[in-house]
């Protein structure tokens, strides 16, 4: 079985500040991907960032970066210089190759305030 | 541009009706997934398929079935709709996971199903 846990149902950040969203996961697979997806009010899921498990280096995409701790099975998302457009639901997801299974967490709703 | 298209954005059905939710992708992806999304519960996997005519149960398959007769189309079937199946349904597709090949899941726009 594979699981993804997001323990922060809601977070708030001021514009231009930095926020970190937490995610832990569990799998017995050695090869897997981890993702962060964003879901704005339009409901369309958008990929924010991805990390392959075999890569030691943490992924970065502009203002978004991850802290991937494989031994601890932790995968947090850091958003720097937060913008109003970052307000959305954020989902952490685990994709394991053997089973071709993609599992999501319960999500974190991010508010960005002026 | 990858496209995953769900047949309806909003749907209202009566209890006991047989309901079909259709999903089509145009990127020749092997994998397709059906999720339901409920507040506080995130996205829960109902069924997924890694090839034509192949299907695997996800975490909450009860009350649902699926069909994948063609690679591009993955249908979710509610055999006898019930009010507790009122939810947002999301379809997704992806390539098989291959090391060094960046993959991601692409999503449809969602179908909000109400069962009355």
Residues in chain B: 116
Nearest to A27 by CA among A90, A97, A87: A97
Q: How many CB atoms lie within 10 A of CB A41?
A: 8
pLDDT at B99: 63
pLDDT-based confidence at residue B86 (cuts at 50, 70, 90): very high
User: Tokens representing A29?
Assistant: 């697979």
pLDDT digits (tens, 9 = 90+) for A46-101: 999 999 998 889 999 999 999 999 999 999 999 999 999 999 999 999 998 777 88
Q: Rounded mean pLDDT of B75-98?
A: 93
pLDDT at B100: 60
Pairwise CA distance, residues B103 & B81, whole Å: 34
Residue B51 has pLDDT above 70, yes or no: yes
User: Tokens representing A66?
Assistant: 């991850």
Q: Tell me the pLDDT of chain A averaged across its residues.
A: 94
Interface test with B, best of A104, A106, A108, A109 (most B CBs within 10 A): A104
Cβ contacts (< 8 Å) between A107 and chain B: which residues?
A: 42-43
Asked if the Cβ–Cβ distance from B97 to A95 is below 8 Å, we say yes
Q: B90 and chain A: CB distance < 8 Å anywhere?
A: yes
Residue A10 has pLDDT above 90, yes or no: yes
Query: Quick one: closest CA in B to A53, which residue?
Result: B99
Q: How many CB atoms lie within 10 A of CB A78?
A: 16
Q: Rounded mean pLDDT of B26-51?
A: 94
Helix H, strand E, coil C: the string for A25-51 is EECCCCCEEEEEEEECCCCCCEEEEEE
């Amino acid at each position: 079985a594979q699981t993804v846990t997001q323990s922060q149902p809601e977070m708030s950040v001021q514009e231009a500040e930095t926020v970190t969203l937490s995610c832990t996961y569990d799998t017995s697979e050695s090869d897997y991907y981890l993702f962060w997806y964003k879901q704005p009010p339009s409901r369309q899921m958008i990929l924010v960032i991805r990390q392959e498990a075999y890569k030691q280096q943490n992924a970065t995409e502009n203002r978004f970066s991850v802290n991937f701790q494989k031994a601890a099975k932790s995968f947090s998302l850091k958003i720097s210089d937060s913008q109003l457009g970052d307000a959305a639901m954020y989902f952490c997801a685990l994709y394991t190759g053997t089973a071709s299974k993609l599992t999501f967490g319960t999500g974190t709703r991010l508010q960005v305030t002026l | 541009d990858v496209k995953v298209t769900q047949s309806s954005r909003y749907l209202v059905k009566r209890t006991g009706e047989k309901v079909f939710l259709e999903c089509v992708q145009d990127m020749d992806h092997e994998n397709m997934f059906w999720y339901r999304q409920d507040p506080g519960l995130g996205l829960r996997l109902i069924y997924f398929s890694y090839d034509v005519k192949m299907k695997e149960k996800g975490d909450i398959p009860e009350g649902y079935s699926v069909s994948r007769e063609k690679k591009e189309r993955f249908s979710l079937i509610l055999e006898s709709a019930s009010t507790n199946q009122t939810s947002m349904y999301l379809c997704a597709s992806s390539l098989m996971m291959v090391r060094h090949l960046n993959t991601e899941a692409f999503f449809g726009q969602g179908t909000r199903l109400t069962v009355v």
